[in-house]
Amino acid sequence: MLALLEQLVTESGGTYAMEDTDSMAIVATERGGLVPCPGGPHRTSDGREAVKALTWPQVRAIAKLFAALSPYDRSAIPGSILKIEDDNFDPATKAQRQLYCYAISAKRYALFVVDSHGAPALLRNKVNNEVDRWSEHGLGHLLNPTDPNSDDREWIAQAWLMMIRGALKLPTGRLPFADLPAVGRITVSSPGLLQPFATLNGRKPYAQQVKPFNFGLTCFVRPFGHPPGADAEHFHLFLPYETDPRRWLKAQWIDQYSGRRYRITTTGEHGTRRAARVKTYGEVLHEYEQHPEAKCADAQGRRCDRQTAGLQRRHVCIASITYIGKESNRLEEVEAGLIHLAESVYTVYADPSRDEWSTTIKPALCKISLKQFGYPGSHGGC
């Protein structure tokens, strides 16, 4: 149904800010027309890149078409299965309002409104909306830098508001936690995660040891931030759970692979023999904002990069088929830096009839005559 929705929006001359599985943020205004947007295929009267917005009635008409696909009892659940979200309506007046979206990729976005002075305000629960509308995808693995014991995610809202203000070319300040080391909480859920603490546990009574399913901390090494001689693909620092950020830079972190201990630092461009240069919250957020959407292409159909603005479908060709297990859902941990190699999360089920020799190499060789291999008078064939 998402493909049907995409086609209907495209046929109407419109576009969307982002989409994901069962939803789409359609670009629409009360009266429609061109909306300034970097990377857009159109130009406004003053020459700015723009996209075409549908009108609110056009969006309602598209939603109404999906009523015919509803599998529910119409007397119990009337209307369309494509719902226009309540976010579009002011919770106090119930009048439809103009929403804005700042989208980095399919799952990284924030919705906001703009006041009469042009200042953005995120959609917040019990403030101007029924629920918070900013994404935590790609940041949820990090501890709250203002209070590691708290599950409050207000720091992510602060980060989104700063990114939005920057995109609107409004004054921005520096986040108070920008220079702290970016630290995530992990669960000691496997022998591989428990092993680094073996030496540490050996000197403590059982009650004080790190045990299976206890929490621990991990941090994220910058490129070229590894200590000299360390294997960048086999280097991951852990620490028993510690909620005082002041101790993070003083503690001896343990490398998961070698068992060696290192301190961490947030200054300099590279690591030293005794310390690893790790990413700060500010550096993680900068990378987050510049995240390339691998599934999309730019306006010219080229693979997008960190600076691309304005995306479209990326056309791909299937070179081979490989069966993998459901462990591929741990790719989010790879993206977050909790796992260094994507290959390590795959369970591959080999199919001899689909190996590269049978599907690619052998058919290509069969098209080459033996004469080309140095056998005069011979012809190809398999």
Burial of 254 (0-12, 13-18, 19+ CB in 10 A): buried
Measured CA to CA, the distance from residue 175 to residue 303 in angstroms comes to: 32
Q: Which residue has the tokens 């920057």?
A: 166
Q: List per-residue pLDDT tens for the chain, 382 residues long.
A: 899 999 999 999 999 998 888 889 999 999 999 999 888 889 999 999 999 999 999 999 999 999 999 999 988 988 999 999 999 999 999 999 999 999 988 789 999 999 999 999 999 999 999 999 999 988 988 999 989 889 899 999 999 999 999 999 999 999 999 999 999 988 888 787 788 888 888 878 998 888 998 989 999 999 999 999 998 888 999 999 998 888 999 999 999 888 899 999 999 999 999 999 999 999 999 999 988 887 888 877 888 888 888 778 888 888 777 777 765 556 666 665 666 666 666 777 777 777 788 888 888 888 888 777 666 655 555 5
Q: Output the six-digit token pair for 74.
A: 């119409």
DSSP assignment letter at 66: G
pTM of the full structure: 0.82
Measured CA to CA, the distance from residue 220 to residue 225 in angstroms comes to: 9
Give just the sign of the alpha carbon dihedral 294, 300, 301, 302.
negative
126 Cβ partners below 8 Å, 6+ apart?
Answer: none
Measured CA to CA, the distance from residue 41 to residue 309 in angstroms comes to: 11
CA 81 to chain CA centroid, Å, is 27
- Identify the three-state secondary structure at position 54: strand
Give just the sign of the alpha carbon dihedral 187, 192, 197, 201.
positive
Helices (H), the chain: 2-11, 56-65, 154-167, 191-194, 198-202, 245-248, 281-289, 331-336, 356, 362-366
Q: To 5 degrees, how large is the angle CA 296–CA 297–CA 301?
A: 150
pLDDT at residue 332 in the model: 60
Q: Report the relative pairing of strands 261-265 and 275-277 from DSSP bridges.
A: parallel
368 and 378 Cβ atoms separated by less than 8 Å: no
Measured CA to CA, the distance from residue 14 to residue 347 in angstroms comes to: 41
Beta carbons within 10 angstroms of residue 104's beta carbon: 20
354 and 320 Cβ atoms separated by less than 8 Å: yes
Q: Output the six-digit token pair for 261.
A: 């201990």
Q: Which residue has the tokens 């290959």?
A: 343
What is the secondary structure of 209-232 as a DSSP string? S--TT-EEEEE-BPTT-SPTT--G
CA-nearest of 115, 136, 137 to 127 is: 115
